[in-house]
Amino acid sequence: MSSHTQSLDPIKIAVTGAAGNISYSLLWRIAAGEVFGPQQPVQLQLLEIEKAQQAARGVEMELLDSAFPLLANVQVTTDPREAFDDVSAAFLVGAQPRTKGMERADLLTANAAIFSEQGAALNEVARRDVRVVVVGNPANTNALIASANAPDIDPRQFTALMRLDHNRTVSQLSSKLQLPVTDFAQIAVWGNHSASQFPDISYATAGDKKVSELVDAQWVEDYLIPTVAKRGAEIIEVRGSSSAASAAAASIDHMRDWVHGVEDAQQWRTAGVYSDGSYGIEEGLFVGFPTRAVAGRWEIVPDLELSPAQQARIQASVDELKAEREMVADLLK
């Protein structure tokens, strides 16, 4: 077993925003083997802007001090072409986080330039089968920009993190019904990673029961949906800074499921994926869908029946994504 372990070549993994809060949790879990498995050595290629280079070096020092058996090497750079060179996976975390009172539109333009440059660099130097998850907000539109600037990479290799919204939905149901999180299946969050998102429990099950028969429809409408959709703001209010460890945990979940797949077909996940036109959602947008991780790909769960109420909520969030796309139109080739 161990001789086999040692014979695997390291794979290269890029993480941007390496000196930031999310990365401080994320990097340790990648290095511990929680994404690519306990046999797979990794080389971490960390991207940071100039003014955070020293802090990123401190992160590198601590990673090395952790003496992870699977950590083959750590590199820190300011150059996206170096960071993305030959990578199998990229966690695009680095961005300007939203601060109190900042409008979403300001956030969009501040971050759009970063993601167009990084998309172009991925296109130049990353492996063609690279798996990219965009965590930095506005994640869905940043994924769209990165993908549009990487014309030689299949857009299905780009995703936006919506797993945190998914996990928050599961967690709220678990607390409400006093059941373990593992009892729940067929949950999804449609739309944008923003307050317009639609956590949807219409198909959800808890064991052999339908969740919609266990909870009141009014509770879903008045409590569950707004609580999940505004959880990010609530965390900032209560913790004093934005979700970091839970966002890292969701990023780990997302990439691990994408790489290894999820066997149970009832165990849907939420990923912000390239829309193929399913459910009338415009092709080419990056949208939270009910998905399954199958054979190394995200597949959109097909043939769900949508009520007019579901359709209206999904449409509202998709309309917001279209408006965001409009604001960055000059960066989409």
Q: Is 26 in the site for ligand NAX (CB under 6 A)?
A: no
Residue at token pair 């999310």: 22
260 is catalytic: no
Distance of CA 115 to the CA centre of its chain: 15
Cα–Cα distances (Å) from 192 to 12, 95, 183, 248, 329, in that order, read 29, 17, 26, 19, 18
Residue 174-193 contact track with ligand NAX, rule CB under 6 A, x = bound: -------------------x
Q: How far apart are CA 289 and CA 294, in angstroms?
A: 15
Q: Using alpha carbons, select from 197, 204, 263 the residue that is nearest to residue 232.
A: 197
Cβ at position 5, least distance to ligand NAX in Å: 31
Which amino acid belongs to residue 258? W
Residue 137-156 contact track with ligand NAX, rule CB under 6 A, x = bound: x-x-----------------
DSSP string, 158-192: EEE--HHHHHHHHHHHHHHHT--GGGEES-EEEB-
Task: Provide the 3-class DSSP secondary structure of residue 204.
Answer: coil
- With CB under 6 A as the contact rule, the residue among 13, 14, 27, 47 that binds ligand NAX is 47
Q: Is 231 annotated as a binding residue?
A: no
Q: Which stretch binds ligand NAX (CB under 6 A): 119-127, 148-156, 236-244, 323-331?
A: 236-244
Q: Is 87 in the site for ligand NAX (CB under 6 A)?
A: no
Q: How far apart are CA 165 and CA 162, in angstroms?
A: 5
Q: Is 240 annotated as a binding residue?
A: no
Closest to ligand NAX by CB, 22 or 328: 22
Query: Using a CB cutoff of 8 Å and minimum separation of 24, what contacts does 250-253 make?
Result: 250/161, 250/163, 250/164, 250/166, 250/167, 251/22, 251/26, 251/91, 251/93, 251/133, 251/135, 251/161, 251/163, 252/26, 252/29, 252/30, 252/34, 252/35, 253/163, 253/167
Q: Is 314 in the site for ligand NAX (CB under 6 A)?
A: no
Q: Is 17 annotated as a binding residue?
A: yes
- With CB under 6 A as the contact rule, the residue among 229, 244, 252, 314 that binds ligand NAX is 244
Cβ at position 235, least distance to ligand NAX in Å: 8
Tokens of 181: 């999180």
Q: How far apart are CA 48 and CA 92, in angstroms?
A: 11
> 92 to 111, contacts with ligand NAX by CB under 6 A?
93-98
Q: Is 15 in the site for ligand NAX (CB under 6 A)?
A: no
Q: Is 48 in the site for ligand NAX (CB under 6 A)?
A: yes
Cβ at position 266, least distance to ligand NAX in Å: 24
Q: Is 247 in the site for ligand NAX (CB under 6 A)?
A: yes
Tokens of 205: 């099950």
Q: Is 19 in the site for ligand NAX (CB under 6 A)?
A: yes
Closest to ligand NAX by CB, 157 or 194: 194
Q: How far apart are CA 193 and CA 318, in angstroms?
A: 11
Q: Is 20 in the site for ligand NAX (CB under 6 A)?
A: yes
Cβ at position 280, least distance to ligand NAX in Å: 25
Q: How far apart are CA 211 and CA 223, in angstroms?
A: 15
Cβ at position 43, least distance to ligand NAX in Å: 18
Annotated binding-site residue numbers for substrate: 98, 104, 137, 168
Annotated binding-site residue numbers for NAD(+): 17-23, 111, 118, 135-137
Chain residues in the site for ligand NAX (CB under 6 A): 16-17, 19-23, 47-49, 52, 93-98, 114, 135-137, 139, 161, 164, 193, 232, 242-244, 247
Catalytic residues: 193
